[in-house]
Amino acid sequence: MTSPTTAAGARQGRLRRPSGEPPPLPRELNRVAVAWLATFVVWAVIWVWVFLADEPAVWITERDLELMRPIVENRRGWLTPPMEWTNRIGSDWAVPIVGWSAIVIGRATKRIRHVLLLIASLATVAAISTIVGAEILRPRPLGFTQIGEWEGFAQPSRPVALLTTGLVAALLTTTPTGRLRRNGNALNASLLVV
């Protein structure tokens, strides 16, 4: 005798999973994933370009200084403390807080694969940004007084790379697909701009 579930599946032409949801793989990349991937590819191409020749590095440095000059000339003293605080939070506190929170939430909701991917992503990005930074040796802006803490080279920025990875991985680990995740992506982008 055929069970009602099997009979219903046979009528539809295919068998469904017991939950009624589609299988987890394969997944299609949505627009946000494509945008993040495209951004990564653009930066990777720029890094490779800088690796292969000195001229691009000089050109990029000159453009960087042109963009930096008006910002430095229009500094406001009252803005320095909040920006130093923002820098300290983004560089020292955000990645551990976001990362550990996502790990705890992911573990509590039994999203072990997501948690493992989050950890692997952070480790991979940390290694890549360290290696690329040591190879490019991009200097900090020349001729400008530095008013905040700054360690390492100008690019890639290891704290920004880790923060980006942590925010994106935490969002994917802790939120379901849909409106909440789209709003989270907008929030992540806003935090990274700050």
Predicted confidence (pLDDT) per residue in 141-186, tens digit: 777 777 777 776 777 778 888 888 888 888 888 888 888 888 888 8
Please indicate, yes or no, if residue 131 is contained in any of the structural domains: yes
Is residue 92 in some structural domain?
Answer: yes
Residue 46 is assigned to a structural domain of this protein? no
Structural domain contains residue 136: yes
> Quick check: is 79 in a domain?
no
Structural domain including 89 reads 84-194
Q: Are 145 and 123 in contact (CB under 8 A)?
A: no
Give dist(CA 57, CA 48) in Å, integer.
11
In a domain, 51, yes or no: no
| 48 domain residue, yes or no | no
Domain total for the chain? 1
* CA–CA distances in Å: residue 174 to residues 107, 121, 123, 190: 10, 15, 19, 19
pTM exceeds 0.75 for this model: no
Q: How far apart are the first and last CA of the chain?
A: 64
Q: How crowded is residue 188: how many other Cβ atoms within 10 Å of its Cβ?
A: 20
pLDDT digits (tens, 9 = 90+) for 107-125: 888 888 888 988 998 899 8
Q: Do the domain assignments include residue 89?
A: yes
